[in-house]
Amino acid sequence: MEEKLANELSVRYAPYAAWEAQLDLEAIAETEPFIWWRSPKEGSTVARNGAVHPLASYHIALEPGHIGGGWAELEGRQFRIADEDFWVREGELVLEVAQRVKVALINLGAQVSLVRESHHPVNPKTFEDYWENAASDLSAPNEPSLSVQLAHAHAVRDRAMRMA
107-139 pLDDT, tens digit each: 999 999 999 998 887 788 887 888 888 888 788
Q: Beta partners for 9?
A: none
Q: Residue 44's pLDDT is what?
A: 57
Q: Residue 50's pLDDT is what?
A: 56
Secondary structure class of 106 (helix, strand, coil): helix
Chain Cα centroid distance, residue 92: 16
Residue 98's nearest CA partner among 67, 65, 68 is: 65
pLDDT averaged over the chain? 82
H or E stretch including 60?
Answer: strand 59-62
Residue 121's nearest CA partner among 95, 98, 103, 141 is: 95
Q: In whole angstroms, give the CA distance from residue 148 to residue 140.
A: 10
Amino acid at 47: A
DSSP one-letter string for 127-152: GGGGHHHHHHHSPPPS---HHHHHHH
Q: In whole angstroms, give the CA distance from residue 160 to residue 164.
A: 6
Architecture of domain 56-122: 3-Layer(aba) Sandwich (3.40)
Q: Residue 3's pLDDT is what?
A: 80
Secondary structure class of 119 (helix, strand, coil): coil
Quote the pTM value. Answer: 0.55
Chain Cα centroid distance, residue 32: 28
pLDDT in tens, the chain (164 residues): 678 877 777 777 777 777 777 778 788 778 887 777 777 666 655 555 556 788 888 899 999 988 777 778 877 888 888 899 888 888 889 999 999 999 999 999 999 999 999 888 778 888 788 888 888 878 888 888 899 889 988 888 888 877 77
Q: In whole angstroms, give the CA distance from residue 140 to residue 94.
A: 38
Q: Beta partners for 113?
A: 61
H or E stretch including 15?
Answer: none
Q: In whole angstroms, give the CA distance from residue 42 to residue 11.
A: 36
